Each structure stands twice: as C-alpha cells, then as structure tokens.
Chain A
Amino acid sequence: DSGVTQTPKHLITATGQRVTLRCSPRSGDLSVYWYQQSLDQGLQFLIQYYNGEERAKGNILERFSAQQFPDLHSELNLSSLELGDSALYFCASSSLLVGGRVDTQYFGPGTRLTVL
C-alpha cells in the first residue's frame, strides 16, 4: 500500500458527461501528479500540483482540469467525455522538490474510467 488513495475505483459513464476523480496524497506529500494510462498511449503525464498551485502541465486536454485543495487532496475533472477518454487514471504524490532534490513518486491504485 503506497498511502495514496483514489476514488472511485471504477467509473462508467456516457459520452458527453462530466466526472470527477479524487486523490488523497501520502501524509506529508505536497506534490500531486495525474497520469492517464491507455493501451495505445502508455503512461501519459497530465498535470502536477504542488501545495495548491499548478506546477507542471503535460498532455492534458482542455476538456480536463484539476485542482489541489488546502488539505492537499486533488481532483481531476473530465468533461465532454469521449470514447477515447476511457483509460486508467492514476494519481501519484511526492514530497517537496527543491534544489534538484529527487523524490520518488508513489502511485495510487487508479480509477478505471469507461465511457460508453
């Protein structure tokens, strides 16, 4: 158990709908990362938040957004869903990254999104 929790575990919805995925980082971790894993694209980095602020952006669609709250949990919002958004969505967390210090990312169990 990595200490990162994600809810829900599974989500089935229809095209055009909007969903929210939730992540709670490990105790003490300030950074949260969101990844999308699909068979054809592999593991794609979406976005990172550090202590409530957006820190880095990857291949995140405009239909997707995220935020990190004062209690450090994070939510990933996916809207106008398309069939191709069906994937596993992972959250990871790490502690402070400054001055080149390298921290390990610890991953949650993921949310499997199925868009019908």
Chain B
Amino acid sequence: AQSVAQPEDQVNVAEGNPLTVKCTYSVSGNPYLFWYVQYPNRGLQFLLKYITGDNLVKGSYGFEAEFNKSQTSFHLKKPSALVSDSALYFCAVRDDGGGSYIPTFGRGTSLIVHP
C-alpha cells in the first residue's frame, strides 16, 4: 500500500527567505514521487518528479526537492521565495511494488509568502 503525508496545512515565509514544504511517504517497493502546485481556481501544475538517480531533483520555477530514503521524505525547497509562489502544493507518491499506476496525493500545503 502507498500513502503520503504533508504534515503542515500551511507554511508561512517572508519573501526572499528559503522555503521548505514537507512530504513523507510510505511504500512497499520503491517510490515514484511528484510535486504539483495549484494556484487559485486553476488545475494542478506539475513541478518535478523523482524516479531514480540523484537525490536532488530540480524542477520548474526554481523549485527543487530532496529525496531522502532513510527518512522516507521528499521535501520541496526553494532558496528564495517569491510572493507569486503563494499557492497550494501537493505531494504525490506511486509505489513501484504495487499493482496500481495511480498515485496517491497528499492533502496539500498552503504556502503563503509575505512581502
């Protein structure tokens, strides 16, 4: 079975400061991990994914995520936050050891970047 948790409903950060949005997962095999962003009244936009290889994955809009197998985490990061980064962020996981091709999404974390 696969599951994902986003432990923070909301993250507040000042513009220009680094940001981290947390995600932890549970799978029986190897994880495939995704981050999506949702702006108000819009669909989810793909940011980045981890399948295999380097633990640091770079994605769109200056975001990156670090895969940590021992901590079963895949935190989203950005060195310097922008007000325009304010949005809802979703982490998703798919278990390569399971029979389903459907990823499980977290409940989302609202990121608020203050000017």
Contact = CB atoms under 8 A, between A and B. Distances in A.
Contact size range, B:
20 to 34
A33 B102 contact: yes
Given A102-B32, A102-B49, A107 B44 contact: yes
A14 interface: no
B66 interface: no
Interface in A10-55: 33, 42-43, 45, 48, 55
Contacts of B34: 104-105
A90 B45 CA distance: 12
B42 A109 contact: yes
B103 A42 contact: no
Contact of A107 (B41, B43, B94, B108): B43
B102 A56 contact: yes
A100 B30 CA distance: 11
Given A55-B101, A56-B102, 4 more contacts: A42-B108, A90-B44, A100-B96, A107-B36
Interface of A: 2, 4, 33, 42-43, 45, 48, 55-56, 58, 90, 92, 97, 100, 102, 104-110, 112
17 contacts: A42-B106, A43-B90, A43-B107, A43-B108, A45-B105, A56-B100, A56-B101, A92-B44, A97-B101, A102-B51, A102-B94, A105-B34, A105-B46, A106-B46, A107-B36, A107-B46, A108-B43
